[in-house]
């Protein structure tokens, strides 16, 4: 069988499949913002000292669509980044393939090629790459969710998150921590405890009015620059392994701040929470030199001068999304200050739903 042309890999096939009554499998997983403890979930620190993380999922998602086909082909496409990969089942995945890395990792782990059923796969995410919202890990979770639904594997949330971690960190050798996979799978506000191979996810019962207050108080903006989190994380790992004491002490303090932030957020002491965000950001910057840069520092200082009580870059740092805790009568000034420094202020909300997968037959 001839290799399918990549030019044929377009949305017309998906539309035709749906129009003709094909089964369509979909999954979505929520992105997250990390309030405190980020970085303590990264080996080897997490294995030796244990990691504590406080985060929450937001109403932006990674999406996956799978449409089984009878053409004996596997065809994968990212709707965001113009990446495409197509090959015949009887020939197998090309060894030199570099496109669709995350999807390839999941396909390899599940031995989908060996099942003898072709499929068309499409991915899409509600954020740019290097956003600091855990997009890569969230996409892996969504991919697992879609294949789990299609193949009826029956994975539970802990199994899904653990598998996503193994595929991304071990199989694909992408540096990073553990919080993103568990946040995307479980959803909601979570206080996470990690040690070696053990993960304990503690959902926080924050009243609806408390969630609404946090949504109102937090201003989120894209800094205008993306970054490779693996570079920053490698710097952090080096600091820990080389016993850079200022960096190690910062990691320890970051873990302690996650505990403090959990305590005040459960008590509804949100202004104190906002101030702790500032402390957490100041401490996090000591973990690795690439976490911030002059542009980010200037942007954050402008937000603080305009009235933000605290804030931080979400994720590893270096770019992506920044969020600031701001009293309601200073929001307009903070948004203007961020915009003047090149940031793009965005609306968002929290969600308590984690990974979802479903099937549809459209005619």
Instruction: Write out pLDDT tens, residues 276-309.
Output: 999 999 999 898 878 888 999 999 999 999 999 9
Distance in angstroms (rounded) separating the CA atoms of residues 52 and 50: 7
DSSP SS3 for 32: strand
DSSP SS3 for 106: helix
| CATH assignment of the domain containing 153 | 3.30.230.10
| CATH assignment of the domain containing 301 | 3.30.70.890
pTM to 2 decimals? Answer: 0.91
Higher pLDDT pick, 2 / 272 = 272
The pLDDT score that the predictor gives to residue 85 is 93
Rama region for 209: left / alpha / beta (φ>0; ψ in -120 to 50; rest): alpha
Rounded mean pLDDT of 134-152?
96
Q: Is the domain of 86 the same as that of 179?
A: yes
Q: 77-81, 89-93, 143-147, 248-252: lowest mean pLDDT where? A: 89-93
pLDDT digits over 225-259, tens only? 765 666 778 888 888 888 889 999 999 999 999 99
Can you list the pairs that 306-310 forms with residues at least 24 positions away whose Cβ atoms lie under 8 Å?
Answer: 306/330, 306/333, 306/334, 306/336, 306/337, 307/333, 307/334, 308/219, 308/334, 309/271, 309/274, 309/275, 309/277, 309/278, 310/274, 310/275, 310/276, 310/277, 310/278, 310/279, 310/280, 310/281
Q: Is the domain of 88 the same as that of 180?
A: yes
Distance in angstroms (rounded) separating the CA atoms of residues 12 and 77: 13
Higher pLDDT pick, 288 / 29 = 29
18 assigned to some structural domain = yes
Q: Is the domain of 259 the same as that of 339?
A: yes
Q: Is the domain of 162 the same as that of 298?
A: no
CA distances from 90 to 71, 102, 255 (A): 11, 22, 50
Q: Is the domain of 180 the same as that of 232?
A: no
The pLDDT score that the predictor gives to residue 337 is 96
CA distances from 71 to 21, 281, 327, 357 (A): 16, 52, 58, 25
pLDDT digits over 93-110, tens only? 888 778 899 999 999 999
The pLDDT score that the predictor gives to residue 317 is 66
Rounded mean pLDDT of 123-134?
86
pLDDT digits over 267-282, tens only? 999 999 999 999 999 9
Residues in the chain: 363
Q: Report phi then psi at 42, rounded to 5.
A: -100, 130
Catalytic positions = 180
DSSP at 36: E
The pLDDT score that the predictor gives to residue 21 is 59
Q: What does 194-218 look like in DSSP terms, one character per residue? A: EETTEEEEEE----HHHHHHHHHHE
Q: Is the domain of 120 the same as that of 134?
A: yes
357 assigned to some structural domain = no
Q: Which domain holds residue 79?
A: 10-205
């Amino acid at each position: 069988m001839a290799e399918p042309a990549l030019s044929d890999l377009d949305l017309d096939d998906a539309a035709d499949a749906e129009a003709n009554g094909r089964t369509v499998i979909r999954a979505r997983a929520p992105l997250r913002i990390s309030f405190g403890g980020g970085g303590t979930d990264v080996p080897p620190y997490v294995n030796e000292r244990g990691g504590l993380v406080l985060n929450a999922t937001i109403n932006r998602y990674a999406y996956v669509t799978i449409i089984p086909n009878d053409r004996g082909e596997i065809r994968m496409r990212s709707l965001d980044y113009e990446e495409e990969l197509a090959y015949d089942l009887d020939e197998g995945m090309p060894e030199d393939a570099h496109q669709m890395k995350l999807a390839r990792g999941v396909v390899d782990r599940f031995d989908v090629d060996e099942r003898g059923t072709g499929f068309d796969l499409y991915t899409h995410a509600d954020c740019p790459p290097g956003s600091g919202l855990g997009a890569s890990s969230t996409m892996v979770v969504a991919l697992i969710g879609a294949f789990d639904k299609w193949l009826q594997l029956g994975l539970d949330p802990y199994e899904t998150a653990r598998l996503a971690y193994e595929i991304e960190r071990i199989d694909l050798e992408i540096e990073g921590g553990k919080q993103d996979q568990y946040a995307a799978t479980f959803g909601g506000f979570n206080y996470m405890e990690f040690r070696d191979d053990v993960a304990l996810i503690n959902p926080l019962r924050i009243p609806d009015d408390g969630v609404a207050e946090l949504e109102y108080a937090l201003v989120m903006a894209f800094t205008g620059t993306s970054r490779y989190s693996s570079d920053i994380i490698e710097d952090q790992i080096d600091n820990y392994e080389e016993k850079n004491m200022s960096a190690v002490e910062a990691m320890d303090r970051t873990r302690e701040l996650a505990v403090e932030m959990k305590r005040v957020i459960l008590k509804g002491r949100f202004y104190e929470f906002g101030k702790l965000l500032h402390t957490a950001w100041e401490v996090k910057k000591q973990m690795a030199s690439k976490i911030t840069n002059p542009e980010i520092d200037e942007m954050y200082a402008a937000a603080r001068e305009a009235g933000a009580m605290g804030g931080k870059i979400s994720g590893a740092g270096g770019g992506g999304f920044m969020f600031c805790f701001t009293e309601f009568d200073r929001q307009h000034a903070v948004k203007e200050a961020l915009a003047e420094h090149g940031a793009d202020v965005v609306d968002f909300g929290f969600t308590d739903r984690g990974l979802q997968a479903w099937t549809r037959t459209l005619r």
